[in-house]
């Protein structure tokens, strides 16, 4: 995919919606920029996300804004997603996205990455998996871990809301012990899966556990993870984006909840392999970070 597909045919320019024109004129594509992309451009440029259908105040939507703003090269990025609240946003994104079967996202992404490497050997193509905790850790755990074992060069981002939110609140592997939901009235009986540690032991070169309470930190992590996945191997980000509806908070309380969990269940965890750390230093020297 090239940036050319966003160029509007001059003959049709007068009937195009303003949002499409903005996308051509005012969006931050890596090709048009000297400096790396980042959240600093969010306040005054067109975003790659457009009028999504998530609830008012949903932290997941904010996190997606940071992820999209931090992609090093959006015009050459393909996002693979899975069923869940995140999949409601993907029809509103100006990038190529692939919707996989529930849980299959890492297997699908592996195939896409390999075929792109074969089809475009001289181009950089990033494949990013973006799915919820149900798809990544519960139903799709097998596929996620197998892609780490195989050292597939893809970035896996898990939006961890600790529950199957859009089907009414069933417990998932990521739900903390004792938590009660509408469709899990007895409370969870065992501990939350520490997926970020599993990712480290399964061969990921970069594994992070964080909340989406600090936009800059999320953007930095996404950028580093994608750059490492390009050349070294699999990377994993676990980002806490609480479902304010299921845990019973008002629309404006999501950010406070994330800030509270910064010190508790989502205390910062970061693993970078030696190889990846050396690569990051190299990227910094080249001006990619």
Partner 1 sequence: MYYIAKVDADMCAEYKCNTCTLYCPEANTLMFDKERNTSYVDVDRCKGCELCVYVCTDMLSRNCVSMLTPHELKEEQALAAQK
Of 47, 138, 160, 171, which lies in the binding site for partner 1, with binding defined by CB under 8 A? 47
Rule CB under 8 A: say whether 71 interacts with partner 1.
no
Q: What gap in Å lies between CA 204 and CA 289, rounded to an integer?
A: 20
Rule CB under 8 A: say whether 276 interacts with partner 1.
no
Nearer to partner 1, 250 or 268 (CB): 250
Rule CB under 8 A: say whether 44 interacts with partner 1.
yes
Rule CB under 8 A: say whether 239 interacts with partner 1.
no
Q: What gap in Å lies between CA 247 and CA 260, rounded to an integer?
A: 14
List Cβ neighbours of 219 (8 Å cut-off, separation of 6 or more).
Answer: 38, 39, 66, 67, 69, 70
What are φ and ψ of residue 166, in 5° steps?
-85, 5
Rule CB under 8 A: say whether 25 interacts with partner 1.
no
Nearer to partner 1, 58 or 232 (CB): 58
Rule CB under 8 A: say whether 49 interacts with partner 1.
yes
> Shortest gap between Cβ of 208 and partner 1 (angstroms)?
20
Rule CB under 8 A: say whether 59 interacts with partner 1.
yes
> Shortest gap between Cβ of 33 and partner 1 (angstroms)?
17
Token digits of residue 280:
């990051």
Nearer to partner 1, 215 or 233 (CB): 215
Of 28, 38, 52, 174, which lies in the binding site for partner 1, with binding defined by CB under 8 A? 52
Of 37, 38, 61, 155, which lies in the binding site for partner 1, with binding defined by CB under 8 A? 61
Q: Three-state SS string across the chain, please?
A: CCHHHHCCCHHHHHHCCHHHHHHHHCECCHHHCCCCCCHHHHHHCECCECCCCCCCCCHHHHHHHHHHHHCCCHHHEEEEECCCHHHHHHHHECCEEEECCCCCHHHHHHHHHHHHHHHCCCCCCEEEEEEEHHHHHHCCHHHHHHHHHCCCCCEEEEEECCCECCCCCECCCCCCCCCCECCECCCCCCCCCCHHHHHHHCCCCEEEEEECCCHHHHHHHHHHHHHHHHHCCCEEEEEECCCCCCCCCCCCCHHHHHHHHCCCCCCCEEEECHHHHHHHHHHHHCCCC
Nearer to partner 1, 229 or 244 (CB): 244
Nearer to partner 1, 25 or 275 (CB): 25
Q: Which stretch binds partner 1 (CB under 8 A): 44-52, 118-126, 172-180, 185-193?
A: 44-52
First to last CA, the chain: 23
Q: Which stretch binds partner 1 (CB under 8 A): 39-47, 100-108, 136-144, 222-230?
A: 39-47
Q: Which stretch binds partner 1 (CB under 8 A): 60-68, 74-82, 105-113, 198-206?
A: 60-68
Q: Which of residues 171-210 bind partner 1 (CB under 8 A)?
A: none
Using CB under 8 A, count the residues that bind partner 1.
Answer: 27
Fill in the per-residue mask, 135 to 174: x = in contact with partner 1 (CB under 8 A), - = not in contact.
----------------------------------------
Contacting residues toward partner 1, per CB under 8 A? 39, 42-44, 46-47, 49-52, 54, 56-62, 65, 215, 250-256
């Amino acid at each position: 995919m090239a940036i050319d597909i966003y160029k509007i045919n001059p003959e049709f320019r007068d009937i195009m919606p303003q949002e499409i024109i903005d996308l051509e004129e005012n969006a931050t594509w890596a090709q048009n920029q000297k400096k790396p992309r980042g959240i600093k451009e969010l306040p005054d440029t067109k975003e790659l996300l457009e009028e999504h259908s998530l609830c008012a105040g949903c932290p997941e939507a904010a996190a997606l804004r940071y992820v999209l703003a931090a992609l090093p090269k959006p015009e050459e990025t393909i996002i693979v997603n899975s069923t869940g609240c995140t999949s409601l946003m993907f029809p509103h994104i100006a990038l190529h996205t692939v919707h996989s079967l529930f849980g299959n996202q890492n297997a699908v992404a592996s195939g896409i990455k390999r075929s792109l490497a074969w089809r475009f050997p001289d181009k950089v193509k990033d494949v990013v998996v973006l799915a919820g905790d149900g798809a990544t850790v519960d139903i799709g755990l097998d596929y996620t871990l197998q892609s780490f074992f195989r050292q597939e060069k893809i970035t896996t981002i898990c939006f961890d809301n600790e529950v199957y939110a859009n089907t009414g609140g069933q417990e998932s592997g990521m739900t903390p012990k004792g938590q009660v939901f509408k469709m899990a009235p007895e409370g969870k009986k065992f501990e939350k899966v520490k997926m970020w540690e599993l990712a480290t032991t399964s061969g990921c070169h970069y594994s992070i556990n964080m909340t989406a309470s600090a936009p800059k930190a999320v953007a930095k992590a996404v950028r580093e993870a994608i750059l490492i996945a390009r050349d070294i191997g699999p990377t994993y980000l676990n980002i806490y984006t609480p479902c304010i509806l299921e845990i019973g908070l008002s629309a404006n309380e999501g950010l406070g909840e994330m800030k509270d969990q910064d010190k508790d269940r989502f205390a910062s965890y970061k693993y970078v392999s030696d190889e990846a750390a050396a690569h990051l230093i190299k990227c910094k020297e080249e001006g990619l970070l």
